[in-house]
Amino acid sequence: MMPERLARYEVTLGQLERKGRRRALARQSGIDFTSNDYLGLAGSARLQASVISALDRGVPVGAGGSRLLRGNHPEHEALEEEAAAFFNSEQMLYFGSGYTANVAILSTLPQRNDLVVYDELIHASVHAGIAAGRATAVAVPHNDLDAFDDVVRKWREAGGKGHPWIVVESLYSMDGDRAPLIGLAGVSDRYDGFLLIDEAHATGVHGADGRGLSTELEGRDNVVVLHTCGKALGVSGALVGGSRILCDYLVNHARPFIYATAPSPLAAASVREALHILPEEPERRQELHRLIVYANEQIATHLGIEGSGSQILPVIIGDSARTLRIAQQMQADGFDIRAIRPPTVPANTARLRIAITLNVDLPSVSRMFERLAQVMTKEQP
């Protein structure tokens, strides 16, 4: 008989099961239509060679401590210097993950009298950072530029004395659409605020040499940009770019930076190589964009769905159980497609999140959409 102290957790898991929301780990199998390895760098020969080269010159696997103790390695500093030049940022800090970086930023930089205004579809890491911070926070409808302006204006009119923080993703991870960055920068400028842009799914894929969608804005003293390194860059960690003052403030006050063991110096060396690959192998992005255009055409042809225009193509089904059944059938047919269910996405918007990477080709994209149309017809609500 299960002890009572464990039974309460099993009850909750059972509730998730009945709702079609229980999660489980699954190994990689089939053609990759689910990873964020957009440029196919994770297993690339150049990144593998960069690891071997770093080991040969004595770069350690582990940092051995936090950055403020003995964990600050020359590879961390070299990466931050090169990344700042590449992304046109005054300074950059390397964090162990994008999640950690967002928590660090949002729990540290917005002050008690500030206002955080964030897109309702923002990543969970932003919510975690806001919860750990001191500023008041307000969500606004997705990509509604006027709503951002209205919230900040009314806050100012009601006596808000601090600075507003506009928080968005440049390319949304579950919908694949873009934020109106130039307009949002105008809102932050108009009200003496800051703009935080999470470039997680744009870095390496969009912008000149893969610099992202915020290239026109990065380097301003009121813009903070996060570039994750575990998606198109194929490694791990995240780079936060901003003014020297803000970066120094994070070093001195961000608990996820101060009290965490520093990222692997070996990973930092590999991220440096990934940043070199971006301008040196433009054919990767060119081929990816050819696949993106084709996939957006195929989703319209086979499913009658307008594509997002990006490498992230959501197929919104609604019902969690049906979404899971379709995903499982596609996996059984050799296509690695996963079901994304609430609370990761809003209620009644369970979906298949199809990611286009250099791990697929045109024929496999065509076959996948053709089969998906058949499975969706079979798996009626």
Show me where the domains of the chain are located. Answer: 21-38+311-378, 45-279
Structure tokens at 232: 């198109």
Per-residue DSSP letter, 261: B
**Helix 320-332, helix 362-378: angle, nearest 10:** 130
Q: Collapsing DSSP states into helix, strand and coil, what is residue 226?
A: strand
Check residue 112 and give its pLDDT: 95
Q: Print pLDDT tens along the chain (381 aa).
A: 778 889 899 999 999 888 888 888 888 889 999 999 999 999 999 999 999 999 999 999 999 999 999 999 999 999 999 999 999 999 999 999 999 999 999 999 999 999 999 999 999 999 999 999 999 999 999 999 999 999 999 999 999 999 999 999 999 999 999 999 999 999 999 999 999 999 999 999 999 999 999 999 999 999 999 999 999 999 999 999 999 999 999 999 999 999 999 999 999 999 999 999 999 999 999 999 999 999 999 999 999 999 999 999 999 999 999 999 999 999 999 999 999 999 999 999 999 999 999 999 999 999 999 999 999 998 877
| Inter-CA distances, 322 with 27, 253, 347, Å | 21, 46, 14
Angle between helices 265-280 and 74-87 (to 10 degrees): 30
Report the topology of domain 45-279. Aspartate Aminotransferase; domain 2 (3.40.640)
Phi/psi region, residue 309 (left: phi>0; alpha: psi -120 to 50; beta: rest), is: left
DSSP secondary structure letter of residue 179: P
Q: Which sign does the torsion angle of CA 113, 117, 120, 124 carry?
A: negative
Q: What is the pTM of this model?
A: 0.94
**pLDDT of the residue at 337:** 97
Distance between CA atoms of residues 224 and 193, nearest Å: 11
Q: Which two tokens stand for residue 294?
A: 């084709």
Q: What is the CATH number of domain 21-38+311-378?
A: 3.90.1150.10
